[in-house]
Amino acid sequence: ALWLASVLVPVYAQENRWGVGTDVGFTAGSVHDTVFNLGFNVDYYLDRNFSVGPMMQITPTGDLFQISFAGAAKYHLRFNNGINVVPFAGFGLIHADLDHGTGPSRIDRNDTSWYIPVGVSLEYQIVHNVAVASTVIVNLHSIDLSPSLPEKDNNSVALMFGLRWGP
């Protein structure tokens, strides 16, 4: 019985170490101005206040298709009133594909670049493991769609709203 307990208790304790999140919002300053954006993240909690995991942002509509993946580290500052402040930073890749217009002025270019998301989420716990969130992300990258677009796109800012599930 002790052996079985020593095997099952650590497995049960680790089951509650995962969290997920989903967001919807807008990204300003992209290669195609302000665009609709979706965000997804998975977190593995090393302890209650620190998590790591992948995050993704995708722009699926209009002339611009943009997708970014990054591994991110988050620090969860938890307050007694149900409010959490979660600063984070990460590193990954971003791909942008712009297909705009027709005729001789048509733009059909794409580029892949390094990607550094830096941001903060403000979360409010609805119940113990579910929170509503508002997130601001500064996306640093180097998208170059020249010669169609003469200047590089070096950054953008995303404002997103969503839900978080976690321990």
Whether 110 shows a pLDDT value over 50: the answer reads yes
What pLDDT is attached to residue 154? 81
Q: Higher-confidence residue: 106 or 89? A: 89
Using a pLDDT cut of 70, give the percent of the chain over it: 85
Q: Higher-confidence residue: 61 or 140? A: 140
| 132/41 Cα distance (integer angstroms) | 14
* pTM score of the predicted model: 0.82
* pLDDT digit string, tens, across residues 63-88: 888 899 999 999 999 998 889 999 99
| 9/5 Cα distance (integer angstroms) | 6
Q: Residue 117 class from Cβ within 10 Å (0-12 exposed, 13-18 middle, 19+ buried)? A: buried
55 closest CA partner among 30, 21, 86, 32 = 21
* pLDDT digit string, tens, across residues 17-63: 888 999 999 988 877 778 899 999 999 998 889 999 999 999 887 78
What pLDDT is attached to residue 64? 80
What pLDDT is attached to residue 151? 64
| 17/51 Cα distance (integer angstroms) | 9
What pLDDT is attached to residue 13? 46
